[in-house]
Amino acid sequence: MEGGILRTYLSEEHHRQNDLAASWMQEAGLSTRIDAAGTLIGRMEGREPGLPALLLGSHLDSVPGAGRYDGPLGVIMALEVIHRLAPHRDQLPFAVEVVAFADEEGSRFGSGLFTSYAMAGAWQQDWWEHTDDQGLTLREAFESFGLDPTRIGEAARAPEEIRGYLEAHIEQSTQLEEAGRALGVVTSIVGERCFTLTVTGEARHAGGTAYHHRRDALVGAAEMIAAVEEIGRRREVVATVGQIEAAPGAVNVIPREVVFSIDLRAPADAPREAAWEEMSARLHELAEARGLRLTVEEFLRAPAVECSAPLQKVIAAAISTTDDAGAEDPLHTYSRAGHDGVAMSEVTEIGMLFIRCTGGISHHPDEHVTAPDVALGIQAFEAGLGAGPQLKMGLADNGSGQRVQLGRLRPSPRPPDRSTSRTSRRGGRSCPRSARSRTAPPSGSGST
C-alpha cells in the first residue's frame, strides 16, 4: 500500500474488479450483469419477480495513490446487507440491487460520474471525444473494453424501475471524528465550481528591474490566493487553490504569467455564489492595483444536490437502533466531496450514510476505517431496509404497514458541465491548458 491503489475506468483493472465483485455477488445469491456503460449490477428479487429495485452501492474505481475504502467500502457493505436480507426476501416489497459504478473519480478521462450518469439517462454525446493521457478517446476505450458505444442508452433506468439509491461512504472529513460519532446522515452533496485563472504581467530581469517598474504575475497571484482563503474562511465555504504554474520559470526572471486553479464548494448554491461574487471582484481589484491582466475560465459547475428528506429520516432512525455514541440524535452533515448520488438524483431519490474515517484522510494510502464502525454502519443499513431486529419503520414498512413512497420529488438539475476538465497525474482535475491563451468567455457563459 506504500504507493496506493489505481483502478481506472475501462482498464484491465476495471475488468478485474468487476470479475471479483461479481463472484462475491454470485456467492450472495445475486444474479449479475454488466450494463452498457460498464457498471456491475447484482440483483436480489423481492417477494415477487420484477419489482422496482432499491439500489445500494458505490464505486470501485479510484484516484491515483488511493486508499482501500473510498468507494469499495460502500459496495462491500451493500453485499453484507444483502446476506442479511436474504432470509427476508419473500417479505420485501421491492427488489434490491447492488451497483458497483466504475468512474466516480474521473481519473482517466478528465471527468467523473460517467457510469452513474449513464444509468440516470443523462449521458452527453460530446463525452465520447474525451481522451486519456495516451490520447485514446472514450469511444475507443469503450470498444477496446468490449462495450458498444451505440448501445449506451441501454444503461438508462426509468424512474419507475427504481425505489431509491442508498450509498454508504467514508466521510472524507472530520465532523464525525470530532463529534465522537461513527455514523452520520448526509443532508446534501456539495455544489462545486472550478476555475482556471491566468494572471499576466511582464517578464523582466530579476536584478535590473526596480520594484516600482515590476508587473510581477507571481506576487499578484500570491495576493489573490491569500484573498481566496480569507474570503472562503469568512463566508464558511470551502475554497482551495490546488494547482499553480509560473512562466517562464527561470530563477533570474520576473514571472510573466501565472496559471492557478480555484475549487469552490458549499452545501448549497446560494452561499457559494455569494462567495464567488466577492472573490471575483476582489481578485480583479488586486490585479488592477499591480497593473496585471486577469482572465478567468470556469471549467466545472455542479449544483448542490439535496438528499431525500424521507431517506434522511429512515437513515437517522436506523442509526438510532445502533450503539453509536449519540445514536438517539444522529449527526447530520453535508458531503464535502462529490458522489455518484449527484448523477442518480437525475432519476430517483438518494440517501447517504457516512462512516467515520481516521483523521478525515482520503485519496491517500493512509485512508482508514475501523471494523467496529463498519459493523455499526451495516447494522444501520440493515435496519433502514426494514429487516433489522429492532426497527419496525424502514423502507419496507412505515410503521402502519404501508411502504414509504419514494419517487422523484423535483426537477433534476442539468448534469455538471465537465467538458473541458482534465485530470492530473496526482488525481483530481487540473487547469485546462487551453485557458493559458484564452481570455474569459463572454458574459453569461458562466465564467467571469
CB 159 within 8 A of CB 226: no
pLDDT of residue 403 exceeding 90: no
pLDDT band per the 50, 70, 90 thresholds, residue 302: confident
pLDDT band per the 50, 70, 90 thresholds, residue 2: low
The strand pair at 53-59 and 95-101 is best described as: parallel
Cis previous bond, 87, omega within 30: no
CB 82 within 8 A of CB 309: no
Secondary structure (H, E, C), 130-187: CECCCCCEHHHHHHHHCCCHHHHHHHCCCHHHEEEEEEEEECCCCHHHHHCCCEEEEE
pLDDT for residue 201: 98
Domains and CATH numbers, the chain: 12-189+304-398 (3.40.630.10), 191-303+417-437 (3.30.70.360)
pLDDT for residue 396: 64
Mean pLDDT, rounded, for 97-101: 98
pLDDT tens digits for range 209-227: 999 999 999 999 999 999 9
313 vs 276: CA distance, rounded Å: 33
174 vs 177: CA distance, rounded Å: 5
pLDDT tens digits for range 310-343: 999 999 999 999 999 999 999 999 999 999 999 9
The per-residue pLDDT of the chain, averaged, comes to 88
Mean pLDDT, rounded, for 186-203: 96
pLDDT for residue 177: 97
Which candidate, 174, 447, 191, places its Cα nearest to that of 342?
191
Which candidate, 53, 22, 297, places its Cα nearest to that of 162?
53
pLDDT band per the 50, 70, 90 thresholds, residue 387: low
pLDDT of residue 395 exceeding 80: no
Q: What percent of the chain has pLDDT over 70?
A: 86
How many other CB atoms sit within 10 Å of the CB of residue 418?
Answer: 24
pLDDT of residue 364 exceeding 70: yes
pLDDT for residue 445: 28
Give the CA distances from residue 182 to residues 194, 219, 254, 307, 382, in Å, rounded to whole numbers and listed in that order: 31, 44, 51, 20, 16
pLDDT tens digits for range 235-286: 999 999 999 999 999 999 999 999 999 999 999 999 999 999 999 999 999 9
